[in-house]
C-alpha cells in the first residue's frame, strides 16, 4: 500500500474537501431515508444474502444412490490443495467394485483458501463447493470438518447425489 | 481338363489305407530305394525337385533341411497335421486314405536329415483320421518298417502320434513345438529358428503332411520327373481344397500353375445355382480375397497369386457367390481370429479383439463411417508387428475386404442392413 | 566387441548384447514393458521397436543382437508411430482407474503415454471384463483388467524362484494371469512380482492404499534382515516409512529381495520405537529425555561403570562396534564384551537365492572387532555369571530387528539379574521385561536408516550406507550415548559443515525449495510514500 502525498500550497486548503465530502454523505442519508428498498446494506443476521449457485463456499462431499460416499480416496484433491488442508485416510472396501474408499476425510476450514482446486481435481464429482458461507465455530476443532459434516450435515438432507454413476459407467463398458 | 494324380492316384481305393493294400500298389518300394541312397543325395533330390512347403508359407523344403547343423546332435522330424486354416481339408484326406504314404515319406525324410524320432502332430478334432494313422503305425511297427533296425538296414526311426487340443495357433511351427513340449501352445521368439533350436531345444524340422507325403513320388521318380509338373518356380502338384458356393466341392490334385478359373469351373463344376462369382479366397482364410475379375487372371502358383497381392497359402480355395454379404463374412473371419489369438503379443491379442468388435458393431447397426477407416488403420498397425503371422493373417483379410468391397461396408454403416441380403445381421441370426 | 551406432552415437558393446541392453546401458531411452534385465526375453509387448538401417521393417530391440556396424534408430517418425500404436493396443482394454490404482505415479503406461501417446483413443467399443481384486496369496492382490500380460511375473516365478505358481490362462484378449487351485503365490520372494509389474495389476496387500507414491521420497540403504545385505531403497515421508524395495547390485542381490526384508520397515517406524528414555531406581519409574538419561547414568554410576560388561549383536554397524569396543576397553577398562548370537545353529542355512539363516547384517563385523581387540569371551559365561548374580553393571545393545530375536523378552528378563542394567534400545522395551534388575535405564537409540555406517556381509563384502531420514529425532546414536555415559558432552553439528548432515538436506528438503541465499538476493524493503 502506498500513500499518495500531494505537496504544494493548494493542499493546505482542506475546507472545500470537507464540505464536498459531507455533501455526499448527507445526500446518501436522505436517499436512503426516502427509498430504503434501494439501500445496498442488509440487516445481517436477520436478513441473509443469497450468493449465486457457483459461489465457492463450504465443501460438500457427494454421495452415491445408496447413500455411501462417492469419494474413491484417490487423494488428487489433497495433492492439488495449495493450502494442504485435506487429510484422507484410505482403506479397502469389502465390495470389489468399489475397492477403495475413505475411512476418514477431513478439511481444515481455517487453512482452506476456497480456491476450488479440489473440485476441479476430482475425477468423480465427489467434492463440490456449495453456496454456504456462514461457518461459525466456538473453537479451532470445530473447523476441522469430518465426513459426517461434509457429506451428511442436516441442511444437505441426506446428501447431495453425485453425477458420476458407477452402474452407468460399467454398463457403457468404459 | 484332367486331374493329375501323382499323390492321389490310389486314394479312391479303400484298401489303400491298409499296409497290405498300400504295398499292393507299390508302397514302401521307394523306402527300400531311399535307404540305399546316401542321405545327402536324398536332400539334394528334394532340393532339385523344387518342392515348397505345402502348409502355407511355401518355403523350399530342401533348403529348410539344409539349415540343420551338420554335427551329430540328435534331431527331430515333426509332421504338422494341425490343419486349422479355415477352408483347408487336404491333410485329412492323406491321413484317411493314405496313412502309409505319409509314414513312408516321414521315414525317408527322417533318414535324410539323420533323425531317429518323429512325431505326427494331429489336430484334436481329427478323431477318425487319428485312429487311422495310429492303426497304420501299428501295422508298420509290426513288420519292422519302424522302430530299431528298419528292414535290416541298421537304421532306427520311431514315430508317434500326438493329439493337439484344438488351437489354430498350434499350426504355427513354434506354437506346435510348444504344445508338443507340454506347454501352452504359443509361438516362440525367432531367432533361434527350430532348425537350430526347436523341440526340447534340439534341432527340429517341421513339415506339413502333404510336403512329407510328396517326398515319396519325388524319390520314386526323381526330381526331373517331378519338375515336369507345375511351373519353373512352383514345380510339382498340389492338393487344393475347394469349398464354398461351387457345385462339386472337394480335394483336387492339380499341377501348380493351373488357372484358378479351371479349378472352379472344370473341377468344381461351376458356381452353385448358376449364380455370379463375386470373390475367391485362394489360400485359406488368411489370404487376401480376389475379386471375380482378378480370378480370371490368377494361376494357382506361388508367384502368380503373390503378384495379385494374395497368396497360395494352404491351398484352400473358398468360392463366394453374389448372394454372400462381405461384411457378414468378415465378421466370421474376425471372430475366428480373435478367438484363436494366443494372447501373447499385444498388437494381436488386443487388435484381433478390437477388429472383431468394430465389425460386429457395424453388423449390429451401431457402425460409424469412421469405423471403416479405423478398421483399416488398426489392421495396418497389426501387420508385421508380432512373433508369428497370426496377426498378419487377421489383418490381411480385413484390409483386402475393405479395399475391394468398400461400398458394401459403407452401405451397411449408412443403412444398418446388408446391401446384398437386405436384412441386418441380427435378423439373419434369429 | 561389435561397434554400433545408436541414434547417431557410436557405442561399443560386448558380444551377444541385445539392442535394448546396449541402449539402456548407455543411457538411451526406449519404451518397453515385458523386457526386464533380470529375466529372459519374452518379446511380447512389441513396444521396444527400433529401425535398423537396411531393414524396411521396424524390429523389437530385446530379441535383436547388436552386430558390427549396425545403425540403430528409435527416434524416427516410423518408430514413434509404431510405439504409439503399440501403446494404444495396450490401453484399449485397460480400465481408466488410475485414481484408485496404487501404481499411479510410477506406472509404465502413464510414463509411456506422456512420452509417446497424448492422443484421443479411437476405441469406442466395450472393454473386456475380467476379474478384479483377486487375492493371489498372502501378500499379493491381482487386478486382471489392469494387467497388460507382459508375463514378467510369470517368468519371475519360473526362472528366479522356480516355484512356478503363476500362469497365463485362457487366450486372446480373454487371457488372465492366475494361480492354480490350492497353489497360492506364497513364496518368500512374492512381492518382487509387484515391483516388476509395470502396471498396477499386482499390488502388495501390505502397502495397498496406504499412501500415494507421489507423497513418498526414497533413500538408499542396506537391508538388516540377514547376512546377505541386500541393497534396498526405503520409501518414506514425514509420517514414517511405508515400504522397502530392492536396489540393483550385481554382486549382492541382483534385482531382488525377500518379503521378510520388506517387512523390516515396521521396526523403524515410531509406533514400534522407544521414544522416551526410562529410568528405574528401585521401584520408582521415571520417563525422561534420552540425552538426560545418558547423563543420568554417568551421574549415578560413574564409578561402577568401570569394568562393566557389554552385550553386542550383529545388528550394529562397524562404526558403532568400534566406538563401543574402544570405549569399553579404553575408558571403562573392561574386556567383558559378549557376542549375543540368536540361534547360531541355523546360521549356515541358505535357500539358494538370497535368504540366509544368519539374521544379522554384520556378524562378520562383530567377529572382526573381537579379533581386533583380542577379546575371547563366551556368551554362556555371561549367562552363568548372571545366574550367580556376579554381574554388577551390564550394558546391552538391544538388537533393532526384534523379529530376528524371538527370545528377546526372556533374555531381557535374564539380563535383569544384573545389579545395574543399561539397555540401549531402538525398539520398544516393555517395562515387564526389565522388572528384575535393581536399577535400570532404557535409552532410545537411532536405527540403521537414521545413521550412516557400514556392514560386512556373509561374503566379507563391506557395504556402506548413508543416513536416509530421521524418524525419532530425540534418539541417540551409539557414539552420542557412550560419550554422554562417559561424562562427555555432545555437540550437535549444524547442517552445512559436515558431509553427513548434507545428506539430511538432500533427503529432507525438496530440491525446488528456495535457499536462504536466494531469498537474500531478492530482498528489498518498502518505504512509506514510494511505490
Cβ contact C226:C360 at 8 Å? yes
From chain A, pick out residues whose CB is under 8 angstroms from the CB of C212.
74-75, 79
Percent of chain B with pLDDT over 70: 98
Which class is domain B326-428? mainly alpha
Classified by CATH at the fold level, domain A59-171 comes out as Alpha-Beta Plaits (3.30.70)
- Is C469 contained in some domain? yes
CA angle B407, B408, B409 (to 5 degrees): 90
Are A3 and C214 a contacting pair at CB < 8 A? no
Q: Is the pLDDT of residue C505 over 70?
A: no
Angle between helices B346-363 and B390-404 (to 10 degrees): 30
Q: For C89, which of B169, B347, B368 is closest by C-beta distance?
A: B347
Cβ contact B72:B113 at 8 Å? no
Cβ contact C307:C399 at 8 Å? no
* A58 interfaces chain C, CB cutoff of 8 Å: no
Give C100→chain A minimum CA distance, Å: 5
Full pLDDT tens readout for chain B, 430 residues? 567 888 899 999 999 999 999 999 999 999 999 999 999 999 999 999 999 999 888 999 999 999 999 888 899 999 999 999 999 999 999 999 999 999 999 999 999 999 999 999 999 999 999 999 999 999 999 999 999 999 989 999 999 999 998 899 999 999 999 999 999 999 999 889 999 999 999 999 999 999 999 999 999 999 999 999 999 999 999 999 999 999 999 999 999 999 999 999 999 999 999 899 999 999 999 999 999 999 999 999 999 999 999 999 999 999 999 999 999 999 999 999 999 999 999 999 999 999 999 999 999 989 999 999 999 999 999 999 999 999 999 999 999 999 999 999 999 999 989 998 887 776 666 5
C182 and C82: one domain? Answer: no
Give C369→chain A minimum CA distance, Å: 47
Cβ contact B333:B304 at 8 Å? no
From chain B, pick out residues whose CB is under 8 angstroms from the CB of C93.
350, 353
Cell 480355395 found at: B317
Angle between helices B346-363 and B326-340 (to 10 degrees): 150
What CATH superfamily is the domain B14-227? NADH-ubiquinone oxidoreductase 51kDa subunit (3.40.50.11540)
Residues contacting residue B204 through CB under 8 Å, at least 6 positions apart: B75, B76, B77, B78, B177, B194, B195, B198
Cell 483458501 found at: A113
Are A174 and C99 a contacting pair at CB < 8 A? no
Candidates B183, B343, B371, partner chain C, best to mutate (most C CBs within 10 A): B343
Give the cell for residue C100.
484408485
Give B394→chain C minimum CA distance, Å: 13
* A79 interfaces chain C, CB cutoff of 8 Å: yes
> What pLDDT score does C436 carry?
64
> What pLDDT score does C117 carry?
79
Mean pLDDT, chain C, rounded, equals 88
Pairing label, strands C393-397, C309-312: parallel
Give the cell for residue C170.
485362457
Q: Please report which confidence band the pLDDT of residue A167 belongs to, taking 50, 70 and 90 as the band edges.
A: confident
Angle between helices B99-113 and B127-142 (to 10 degrees): 60
CA distance C430 to A41: 66
> What pLDDT score does A137 carry?
86
The SS3 call for residue C95 is: coil
C172 and C144: one domain? Answer: yes
C147 and C264: one domain? Answer: yes
* Number of other CB atoms surrounding residue B135 within 10 Å: 14
- Is C292 contained in some domain? yes
Question: Domain map of chain B by residue range?
Answer: 14-227, 237-321, 326-428
C71 and C141: one domain? Answer: no
Calculate mean pLDDT across residues C432-438: 68
State the distance between the two ends of chain C, measured CA to CA, in whole angstroms.
70
* A174 interfaces chain C, CB cutoff of 8 Å: yes
Residues contacting residue B427 through CB under 8 Å, at least 6 positions apart: none
**How does pLDDT run across A54-100, given as a tens digit for each residue?**
888 899 999 998 889 999 999 999 999 999 999 999 999 988 888 89
Q: Is the pLDDT of residue C363 over 90?
A: yes
Give the cell for residue B359.
465389425
CA distance C424 to C435: 16
- Is C106 contained in some domain? no
Nearest CA in chain C to B346: C45
Candidates C209, C215, C528, partner chain A, best to mutate (most A CBs within 10 A): C209
Q: For C100, which of A5, A72, A173 is closest by C-beta distance?
A: A72
Are C127 and A123 a contacting pair at CB < 8 A? no
Give C454→chain B minimum CA distance, Å: 45
Candidates C61, C109, C172, partner chain B, best to mutate (most B CBs within 10 A): C172
- Is C509 contained in some domain? no
C350 and C476: one domain? Answer: yes
Q: How many CB pairs under 8 A join A and C?
A: 43
C65 and C148: one domain? Answer: no
Which class is domain B237-321? alpha beta
C233 and C293: one domain? Answer: no
- Is C101 contained in some domain? no
Question: Which backbone phi and psi does B298 adopt, to 5 degrees?
Answer: -85, 140
> What pLDDT score does C498 carry?
43
C67 and C157: one domain? Answer: no
Give the cell for residue C4.
554400433
Q: Is the pLDDT of residue A1 over 60?
A: no
Cβ contact C86:C45 at 8 Å? yes
The SS3 call for residue A102 is: strand
Are C125 and B341 a contacting pair at CB < 8 A? no
* C16 interfaces chain B, CB cutoff of 8 Å: no
Ranking A59-68, B112-121, C368-377, C495-504 by mean pLDDT, the lowest is C495-504
Cell 535457499 found at: C515
Residues 25-64 of chain C with CB under 8 A from chain B are 41-47, 57-58, 63
Are B189 and C85 a contacting pair at CB < 8 A? no
Q: Please report which confidence band the pLDDT of residue A41 belongs to, taking 50, 70 and 90 as the band edges.
A: confident
**How does pLDDT run across A97-124, given as a tens digit for each residue?**
888 999 999 999 999 999 999 999 999 9
Predicted model pTM: 0.89
> What pLDDT score does B1 carry?
54
* Number of other CB atoms surrounding residue C287 within 10 Å: 11
What's the sign of the alpha-carbon dihedral C30, C35, C40, C42? negative
Are A3 and C126 a contacting pair at CB < 8 A? no
C345 and C378: one domain? Answer: yes
> What pLDDT score does C360 carry?
94
Q: Is the pLDDT of residue C525 over 70?
A: no
- Is C56 contained in some domain? yes
- Domain tally for chain C? 3
Candidates B336, B349, B390, B391, partner chain C, best to mutate (most C CBs within 10 A): B349
C239 and C333: one domain? Answer: no
CA distance B75 to B204: 6
Cβ contact C91:C107 at 8 Å? no
Cell 508411430 found at: C81
DSSP conformation class of C313: -
C71 and C170: one domain? Answer: no
C311 and C258: one domain? Answer: no
Are C99 and A91 a contacting pair at CB < 8 A? no
Residues of the domain holding C483: 275-494
CA distance B99 to B126: 13
In order of B330, B430, C343, the CA distances from C356 in angstroms are: 60, 66, 12
Give C99→chain A minimum CA distance, Å: 5
Q: Is the pLDDT of residue C237 over 70?
A: yes
Residue ranges with strand state E in C145-295 = 166-169, 176-179, 202-204, 217-222, 231-237, 240-246, 277-281, 284-288
**How does pLDDT run across C418-427, given as a tens digit for each residue?**
888 999 999 9
What's the sign of the alpha-carbon dihedral C437, C439, C444, C445? negative
Strand partners, C172: none
**How does pLDDT run across B286-320, given as a tens digit for each residue?**
999 999 999 999 999 999 999 999 999 999 999 99
Percent of chain B with pLDDT over 90: 90
> What pLDDT score does C194 carry?
96
DSSP conformation class of B148: S
> What pLDDT score does C496 carry?
44
**How does pLDDT run across C274-308, given as a tens digit for each residue?**
999 988 887 788 888 888 899 999 988 878 888 89
Amino acid at each position: 500500500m502506498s500513500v499518495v502525498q500531494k505537496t504544494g500550497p493548494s493542499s493546505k486548503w482542506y475546507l472545500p474537501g470537507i464540505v464536498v465530502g459531507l455533501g455526499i454523505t448527507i445526500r446518501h442519508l436522505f436517499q436512503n431515508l426516502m427509498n430504503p428498498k434501494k439501500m445496498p446494506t442488509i440487516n445481517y443476521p436477520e436478513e441473509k444474502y443469497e450468493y449465486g449457485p457457483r459461489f465457492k463456499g463450504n465443501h460438500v462431499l457427494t454421495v452415491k444412490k445408496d447413500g455411501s460416499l462417492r469419494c474413491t480416496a484417490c487423494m488428487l484433491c489433497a495433492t492439488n490443495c495449495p493450502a494442504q488442508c485435506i487429510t484422507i485416510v484410505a482403506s479397502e472396501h469389502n465390495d470389489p467394485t468399489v475397492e477403495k474408499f475413505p475411512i476418514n476425510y477431513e478439511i481444515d476450514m481455517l487453512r482452506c483458501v476456497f480456491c476450488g482446486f479440489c473440485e476441479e481435481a476430482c475425477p468423480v464429482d465427489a467434492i463440490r463447493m456449495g453456496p454456504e458461507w456462514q461457518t461459525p465455530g466456538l473453537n479451532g476443532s470445530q473447523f476441522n470438518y469430518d465426513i459426517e459434516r461434509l457429506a451428511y450435515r442436516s441442511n444437505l438432507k441426506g446428501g447431495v447425489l453425485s453425477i458420476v454413476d458407477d452402474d452407468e459407467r460399467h454398463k457403457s463398458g468404459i | 481338363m484332367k486331374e493329375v494324380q501323382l499323390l492321389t492316384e490310389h486314394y479312391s481305393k479303400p484298401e489303400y489305407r491298409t499296409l497290405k493294400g498300400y504295398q499292393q500298389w507299390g508302397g514302401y518300394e521307394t523306402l527300400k530305394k531311399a535307404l540305399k541312397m546316401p542321405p545327402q543325395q536324398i536332400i539334394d533330390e528334394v532340393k532339385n525337385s523344387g518342392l515348397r512347403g505345402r502348409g502355407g508359407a511355401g518355403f523350399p523344403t530342401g533348403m529348410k533341411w539344409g539349415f540343420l547343423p551338420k554335427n551329430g546332435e540328435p534331431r527331430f522330424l515333426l509332421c504338422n497335421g494341425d490343419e486349422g486354416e479355415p477352408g483347408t481339408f487336404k491333410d485329412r484326406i492323406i491321413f484317411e486314405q493314405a496313412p502309409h504314404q505319409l509314414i513312408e515319406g516321414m521315414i525317408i525324410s527322417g533318414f535324410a536329415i539323420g533323425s531317429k524320432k518323429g512325431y505326427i502332430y494331429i489336430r484334436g478334432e481329427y478323431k477318425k483320421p487319428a485312429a487311422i494313422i495310429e492303426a497304420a503305425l501299428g501295422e508298420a511297427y509290426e513288420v519292422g518298417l519302424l522302430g530299431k533296425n528298419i528292414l535290416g538296414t541298421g537304421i532306427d526311426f520311431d514315430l508317434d502320434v500326438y493329439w493337439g487340443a484344438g488351437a489354430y495357433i498350434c499350426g504355427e511351427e513354434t506354437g506346435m513345438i510348444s504344445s508338443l513340449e507340454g506347454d501352452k501352445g504359443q509361438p516362440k521368439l525367432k531367432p533361434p529358428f527350430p532348425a537350430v533350436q526347436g523341440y526340447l531345444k534340439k534341432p527340429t524340422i517341421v513339415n506339413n503332411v502333404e510336403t512329407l507325403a510328396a517326398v515319396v513320388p519325388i524319390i520314386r521318380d526323381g526330381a526331373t520327373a517331378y519338375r515336369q509338373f507345375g511351373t519353373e518356380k512352383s514345380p510339382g502338384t498340389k492338393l487344393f481344397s475347394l469349398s464354398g458356393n461351387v457345385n462339386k466341392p472337394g480335394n483336387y490334385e492339380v499341377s501348380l500353375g493351373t488357372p484358378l478359373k479351371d479349378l472352379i469351373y472344370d473341377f468344381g463344376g461351376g458356381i452353385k445355382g448358376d449364380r455370379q462369382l463375386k470373390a475367391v479366397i485362394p489360400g485359406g482364410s488368411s489370404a487376401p480375397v480376389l475379386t471375380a475379375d482378378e480370378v480370371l487372371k490368377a494361376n494357382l502358383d506361388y508367384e502368380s497369386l503373390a503378384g495379385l497381392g494374395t497368396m497360395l497359402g494352404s491351398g484352400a480355395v473358398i468360392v463366394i457367390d453374389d448372394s454372400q454379404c462381405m461384411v457378414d463374412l468378415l465378421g466370421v473371419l474376425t471372430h475366428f481370429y480373435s478367438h484363436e489369438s494366443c494372447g501373447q503379443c499385444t498388437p494381436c491379442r488386443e487388435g484381433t479383439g478390437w477388429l472383431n468388435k468394430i465389425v460386429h458393431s457395424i453388423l449390429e447397426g451401431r457402425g460409424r463411417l469412421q469405423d471403416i477407416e479405423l478398421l483399416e488403420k488398426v489392421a495396418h498397425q497389426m501387420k508385421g508387428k508380432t512373433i508369428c503371422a497370426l496377426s498378419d493373417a487377421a489383418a490381411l483379410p480385413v484390409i483386402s475386404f475393405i479395399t475391394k468391397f468398400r461400398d458394401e461396408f459403407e452401405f451397411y454403416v449408412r443403412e444398418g442392413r446388408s446391401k446384398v441380403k437386405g436384412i441386418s445381421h441380427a435378423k439373419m441370426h434369429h | 566387441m561389435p561397434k554400433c551406432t545408436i541414434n547417431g552415437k557410436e557405442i561399443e558393446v560386448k558380444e551377444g548384447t541385445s539392442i535394448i541392453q546396449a541402449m539402456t546401458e548407455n543411457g538411451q531411452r526406449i519404451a518397453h514393458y515385458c523386457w526386464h534385465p533380470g529375466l529372459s526375453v519374452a518379446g511380447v509387448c512389441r513396444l521396444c521397436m527400433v529401425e535398423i538401417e537396411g531393414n524396411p521393417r521396424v524390429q523389437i530391440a530385446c530379441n535383436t543382437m547388436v552386430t558390427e556396424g549396425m545403425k540403430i534408430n528409435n527416434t524416427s517418425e516410423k518408430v514413434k508411430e509404431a510405439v504409439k500404436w503399440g501403446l494404444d493396443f495396450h490401453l484399449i482394454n485397460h480400465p481408466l482407474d488410475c485414481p484408485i490404482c496404487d501404481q499411479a505415479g510410477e506406472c509404465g503406461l502413464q510414463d509411456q503415454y506422456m512420452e509417446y501417446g497424448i492422443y484421443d483413443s479411437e476405441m469406442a467399443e466395450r472393454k473386456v471384463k475380467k476379474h478384479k481384486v483377486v487375492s493371489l496369496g498372502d501378500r499379493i492382490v491381482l487386478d486382471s483388467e489392469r494387467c497388460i500380460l507382459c508375463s514378467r511375473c510369470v517368468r519371475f516365478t519360473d526362472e528366479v524362484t522356480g516355484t512356478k505358481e503363476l500362469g497365463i490362462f485362457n487366450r486372446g484378449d480373454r487371457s488372465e494371469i492366475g494361480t492354480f487351485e490350492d497353489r497360492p503365490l506364497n513364496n518368500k520372494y512374492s512381492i518382487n512380482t509387484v515391483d516388476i509389474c509395470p502396471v498396477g495389476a499386482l499390488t502388495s496387500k501390505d502397502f495397498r492404499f496406504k499412501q500415494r507414491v507421489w507423497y513418498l521420497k526414497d533413500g538408499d540403504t542396506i537391508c538388516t534382515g540377514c547376512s546377505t545385505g541386500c541393497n534396498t531403497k526405503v520409501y518414506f515421508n514425514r509420517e514414517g516409512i511405508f515400504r522397502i524395495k530392492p536396489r540393483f547390485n550385481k554382486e549382492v542381490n541382483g534385482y531382488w529381495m525377500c518379503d521378510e526384508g520388506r517387512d523390516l520397515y515396521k521396526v523403524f517406524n515410531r509406533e514400534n520405537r522407544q521414544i522416551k528414555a526410562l529410568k528405574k531406581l528401585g521401584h520408582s519409574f521415571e520417563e525422561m529425555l534420552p540425552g538426560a538419561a545418558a547423563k543420568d547414568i554417568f551421574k549415578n554410576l560413574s564409578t561402577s561403570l568401570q569394568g562393566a560388561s557389554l552385550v553386542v549383536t550383529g545388528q550394529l554397524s562397524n562404526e558403532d562396534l568400534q566406538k563401543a569396543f574402544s570405549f569399553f576397553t579404553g575408558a571403562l577398562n573392561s574386556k567383558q564384551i559378549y557376542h549375543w548370537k540368536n540361534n547360531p545353529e541355523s546360521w549356515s542355512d541358505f535357500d539358494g537365492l538370497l535368504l540366509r539363516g544368519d539374521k544379522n547384517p554384520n556378524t562378520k563385523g562383530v567377529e572382526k572387532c573381537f579379533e581386533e581387540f583380542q577379546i575371547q569371551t563366551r556368551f554362556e559365561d555371561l549367562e552363568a555369571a548372571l545366574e550367580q548374580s556376579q554381574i554388577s553393571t551390564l550394558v546391552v545393545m538391544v538388537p533393532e530387528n526384534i523379529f530376528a530375536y524371538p527370545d528377546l523378552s526372556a533374555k531381557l528378563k535374564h539380563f535383569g539379574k544384573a545389579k545395574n542394567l543399561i539397555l540401549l534400545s531402538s525398539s520398544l522395551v516393555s517395562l515387564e521385561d526389565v522388572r528384575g534388575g535393581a536399577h535400570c535405564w532404557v535409552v532410545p537409540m537411532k536405527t540403521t536408516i537414521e545413521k550412516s555406517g557400514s556392514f560386512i556381509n556373509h561374503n566379507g563384502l563391506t557395504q556402506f550406507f548413508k543416513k536416509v531420514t530421521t524418524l525419532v529425532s530425540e534418539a541417540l546414536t551409539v557414539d552420542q550415548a557412550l560419550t554422554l555415559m562417559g561424562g562427555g558432552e555432545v555437540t550437535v553439528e549444524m547442517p552445512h559443515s559436515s558431509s553427513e548432515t548434507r545428506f539430511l538436506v538432500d533427503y529432507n528438503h525438496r530440491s525446488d525449495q528456495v535457499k536462504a541465499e536466494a531469498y537474500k538476493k531478492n530482498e528489498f524493503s518498502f518505504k512509506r510514500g514510494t511505490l
